[in-house]
Amino acid sequence: MRRRSLLAAAGAAVSFPAILAPPGAGLRTAHAAGPNDPVDVNLILAVDVSRSIDEDEARLQREGYRNAVASVQVVEAIKAGLTGAIGIAYVEWGGIEYQRTVLDWFRIDGEQRALEWAEMLAQAPRVSLSWTSISGGIEHSRRLFADCPWEATRRVIDVSGDGVNNSGPPAEQARDRAVAEGITINGLPIMNDRPTFGRLPPVPLDEYFRESVIGGPGAFVVVAEDFESFGLAVKRKLIREIAAREGVEAVG
């Protein structure tokens, strides 16, 4: 009951314009800005949609990202950058067999564009699938950078999830391949109170993310103690990614 009330509050936190996204997966959302228009960072939000995340938790994740990206604090961080813009894409992943680009590359350079992105995410359909392949999510995100139309000084994958890699190759392999290409991977582990498929992770999830998921220049972890604190964690993490600040932080 508390989770549902928090969800309702999160949905009311930002007033979004009535902009409908076209149907289908991998919505093409690129801003009309030309390919030579730079951005400060190209950022991929890679979000866990495995079976351990129930419908309420999936909604809380979506609302967390929508409200964070459209928040005054994040928009101010974007505008304070050298170019005053970022490129952003939203990916969902489950087992090794499933990765999906929900929102393709989109250029945010102010409040209106942030609100447009948030509304498109609200319109996109959600799924929930079996296993947890962090490696698959990283690999899909790494390849997605090749389609980004804007040059940036930094490329970042933001991985959020509530479990360890249990499908596909080890997360470390995908992490190392991305880091070798100059990509930074940051982590947002969600310390869920329900173990994945009834099994506790072999190590604490935040420790696993630090050891096996994050990597690259300035990589960091922000911990969400549960799904209800997820939105706050996302906001703090996005500000730090956009501003390229270092450190490790727990939220909850």
CATH number of the domain bearing residue 62: 3.40.50.410
**Secondary structure (H, E, C), 214-226:** CECCCCCEEEECC
* 249 or 213: which leads in pLDDT: 213
What is the reported pLDDT for 17? 35
Q: Report the run of H or E that residue 241 belongs to, with start and end.
A: helix 230-243
Taking only the tens place, the pLDDT of each residue in 21-35 is: 333 344 444 444 555
Residue 134: inside a domain: yes
Residue 200 has pLDDT above 90, yes or no: no
CB-based contacts of 205: which residues, under 8 Å, 6+ apart?
A: 162, 163, 164, 189, 190, 191
Please name every residue paired with 158 in a beta bridge, in sequence order, or none if there are none: 45, 186
Residue 238: inside a domain: yes
Residue 88: inside a domain: yes
Residue 33: inside a domain: yes
Domain that holds residue 211: 26-251
- Number of structural domains (the chain) is 1
What is the reported pLDDT for 32? 47
Residue 5: inside a domain: no
Residue 119 tokens, joined: 């509304």
Taking only the tens place, the pLDDT of each residue in 51-91 is: 888 888 888 889 999 999 999 999 999 999 999 999 999 99
Q: How crowded is the C-beta side of 169, counted as CA atoms within 13 Å?
A: 11
117-129 average pLDDT score? 90
Residue 221: inside a domain: yes
What is the reported pLDDT for 52? 83
